[in-house]
Amino acid sequence: MRIDAIALSALLAFGLAGTAQASTEEAMTKAGCMACHAKDKKVLGPAFKDIAAKYKGQDVSAKLMDKVRKGGAGVWGPIPMSPIAADKISDADLKAAITLILKS
């Protein structure tokens, strides 16, 4: 069976995208994000799907990066989010995490 170049490219891109997503999810777990958030249900913080819905169509990546770095309270209720420093999750991994969350 012969796989043409387009099909092979699609398979490779899907594999790389899956690997990148797994790496981002691992960084989020290591940083502690998953202790308070889940993809589709509220834990202590909002579900990622709810964050994505709230900011749909908006360019909020920089705003959310700042929010994660500084922490805060009041946007999603009274429970404060602790600041997450760069030693817990790098800027690159945080940017990837926010991109992934906004696609939820």
What would the mean pLDDT of 76-97 be, rounded to a whole number?
95
Q: Would you say residue 81 has pLDDT above 80?
A: yes
- To the nearest whole percent, how much of the chain has pLDDT over 90? 73
Q: Show Cβ contacts of residue 10 under 8 Å, excluding neighbours closer than 6 positions.
A: none
- Measured in residues, the chain has a length of 104
Q: How far apart are CA 54 and CA 102, in angstroms?
A: 9
- Identify the residue with better confidence: 44 or 14: 44
Query: For residues 52 and 101, is the Cβ–Cβ distance under 8 A?
Result: yes
Q: Residue 43 falls within a domain, yes or no? A: yes
Give me the pLDDT at residue 21, please: 79
Residue 54 lies in a domain: yes
The pLDDT value recorded for residue 1 is: 45
Instruction: Assess if residue 67 is contained within a domain.
Output: yes
Assign residue 41 the CATH number of its domain: 1.10.760.10
Give residue-wise pLDDT tens across range 26-62. Answer: 999 999 999 999 999 999 999 999 999 999 999 999 9
**Does 5 have pLDDT greater than 90?**
no
Residue 7 falls inside a structural domain: no
How many domains does the chain contain in total? 1
